[in-house]
Amino acid sequence: GESVGLHLPTLSVQEGDNSIINCAYSNSASDYFIWYKQESGKGPQFIIDIRSNMDKRQGQRVTVLLNKTVKHLSLQIAATQPGDSAVYFCAENYPGGTSYGKLTFGQGTILTVHP
């Protein structure tokens, strides 16, 4: 079935360090991936997305890497700040039949940034 999982449930870093959050997905036919950040008591906030015809995409302080060979997705955050502390989710979309737009989420990684 379709599933998305994360390798590490928690990650603690020092302010200023670079952070890397990993995600494994199981459906090789998935063609669209999104990273969301969720702070306590709030809804998920869009960070960055990538389509399967790309292997890297950069945003402001964030980079998403996609390795389709091993079905792996990662989010890199440069110069991590205390405000980056949150739960990070990866989500995939599998374009099978009518399921486009149905996002499947992983369990999440808790990122804690220490001042």
Partner 1 sequence: DAGVTQSPTHLIKTRGQQVTLRCSPKSGHDTVSWYQQALGQGPQFIFQYYEEEERQRGNFPDRFSGHQFPNYSSELNVNALLLGDSALYLCASSLQFRETQYFGPGTRLLVL
Within 10 angstroms of residue 93's Cβ, the number of other Cβ atoms is 21
CB of 83 to partner 1, least distance (A): 18
CB of 97 to partner 1, least distance (A): 9
Which of 14, 40, 43, 83 binds partner 1 (CB under 8 A)? It is 43
Residue 105 interacts with partner 1 (CB under 8 A): yes or no? yes
Handedness of CA 43, 113, 10, 102 (dihedral sign): positive
The torsion angles phi and psi of 93, rounded to 5 degrees, stand at -125, 125
Binding mask 53-92 for partner 1 (x = CB under 8 A): ------------------------------------x-x-
d(CA 34, CA 46): 8
Residue 30 interacts with partner 1 (CB under 8 A): yes or no? no
The torsion angles phi and psi of 4, rounded to 5 degrees, stand at -130, 135
Which residues sit at the interface with partner 1, rule CB under 8 A? Answer: 34, 36, 42-46, 49, 89, 91, 98-108
